[in-house]
A and B are shown apart, each in its own frame.
Chain A
Amino acid sequence: MTRLADAIIVGGGIHGCSTALHMCLAGMKPVLIEKDYAGRHASGVNAGGVRQLARHVAEIPLSIRSMEIWARIEQLVDDDCSFESHGQVLVAENAAELENCRARVAELNALGFTHEELIDAAELRRLVPAVAETCPGGVVSRRDGAANPAQTTTAFRRKAAALGATVREGIAASNVRQHDGLWQVDVGADTYAAPVLVNAAGAWAGRIAASLGEPVPVETVAPMLMITSRVQHFIDPVVILRGRKLSFKQFANGTVLIGGGHLAVPDQDRNETMLDWRSLAVSARTVFELFPVMRAAMITRAWAGIEARTRDDLPVLGPSARHKGLYHQFGFSMHGFQLGPAAGAVMTELIVNGGTQTRIGDLGIDRFHSSQPQR
Chain B
Amino acid sequence: MDIPFTTKARPDTGLYNAKLGIWLFLASEVMLFGAFFSAYILLRVGADPGTWAHGLMNVPIGTFNTFVLIASSVTVVMAWAALKSRNYSLYRNCMIITIMCALGFLVVKSFEYAEKFRHYEVWMKDGSRMTGHIDYDDGGVKKHAYFWSTKTLIKKKIESISFTSDDANQWAPGQYYPPMTKEQLEHVKKYADKGPQHHAVVTIKSADIQRLSAFVPAHSTFFAIYFTMTALHGVHVLGGAIVLSYFLFRGRKMWQTDPDRFINRIEVGGLFWHFVDLVWIFLFPIMYIL
Whether chain B is bound by chain A comes out as: no
Q: Show the binding face of B for A, using Cβ within 8 Å.
A: none
